[in-house]
Homo-oligomer: A and B are copies of this chain.
Amino acid sequence: MSDLKQHIASAFDRDLEGIQARILKMGGLVEEAILDAAKSLETRDEELAGKVVKGDKSIDALDEELNDEAARLIALRQPAASDLRVVLAVMRMSSNLERIGDLSKNMAKRTGVLAQLTQINGSTAALRRMARDVELMLKDALDAYIRRDEALALDVIDRDREVDQMYNTLFREFLTFMLEDPRNITSCMHLHFIAKNVERMGDHVTAIAEEVVFLATGTKPHGVRVKEDRTSSDPALSADIGME
């Protein structure tokens, strides 16, 4: 390899490290946003909710910087196919992280209105557990990315089924609470909105884990992911509500 090529290769690696550092920083901020949003709901902490809403701007900015930097890197360094694959995957991961940040912000924004409404026993604690699971999935997805750990990424994808299951259970519970007492309806509508947000966060984490599998193996994990949104098809949800 000529000195020039050596020089170019190491400049690419250095640029790539910059991008990877940025995605990990973004991942850390998004993990924090998920946890803070869920905590603000449970403890009715409007100050913490405001922090999540404001903090989303930093996540958006990192996503934009990462995209610019990645485009510059591709244009200047003209990476080989395998390096290019990494850059494009990181861009898609960044876009998914940005969406999770948005969803956390939307969740935090409900803190104020929920604090004014009838409390539904245990529901914000259940949502916080669900959010905690999603945050741990994200942590593992990012670890799997750093170590190119296919098994860990597949484990993350698998765990999204549990999150979907938690959503299904909550959907059922909210229905039951509403049917039991109409004063619960408004709260439960907001809580359902939030549960659906957390369920979508799980989908975005799964998309990130799928990129990791792609990077580790060169193929996307087709057929691994089985969606478990039973609320769309289970007649029991309309027939047996409140019968458990």
Q: Which residues of A contact B (CB under 8 A)?
A: 64, 67, 70-72, 74-75, 78-81, 84-85, 88, 91-92, 95, 106, 109-110, 112-113, 116-117, 171, 174-175, 178-179, 182, 185-186, 189-190, 192-193, 196, 220, 229, 231-235, 237-238, 241
A28 to chain B, nearest CB (A): 23
Contact A75 B80 (CB under 8 A): yes
Known: A106-B232, A192-B192. 19 other contacts (CB 8 A): A74-B74, A75-B81, A88-B91, A106-B229, A109-B229, A109-B232, A113-B237, A113-B238, A116-B238, A175-B185, A178-B189, A179-B185, A182-B182, A186-B238, A189-B192, A192-B193, A193-B196, A193-B231, A196-B196
| Alpha-carbon separation in the docked complex, A80 to B71 (Å) | 10
A115 to chain B, nearest CB (A): 10
Contact A232 B196 (CB under 8 A): no
Partner among B79, B80, B185 whose Cβ is within 8 Å of the Cβ of A178: B185
Can you identify 15 A-B contacts, CB atoms within 8 angstroms?
Answer: A71-B84, A71-B85, A75-B79, A88-B91, A112-B232, A113-B233, A113-B235, A113-B237, A113-B238, A116-B235, A116-B238, A117-B238, A175-B185, A175-B189, A193-B196
Residue of B nearest to A177 (CB): B185
| Alpha-carbon separation in the docked complex, A146 to B195 (Å) | 38
| Alpha-carbon separation in the docked complex, A75 to B116 (Å) | 55
A6 to chain B, nearest CB (A): 20
| Alpha-carbon separation in the docked complex, A15 to B116 (Å) | 57
| Alpha-carbon separation in the docked complex, A234 to B179 (Å) | 24
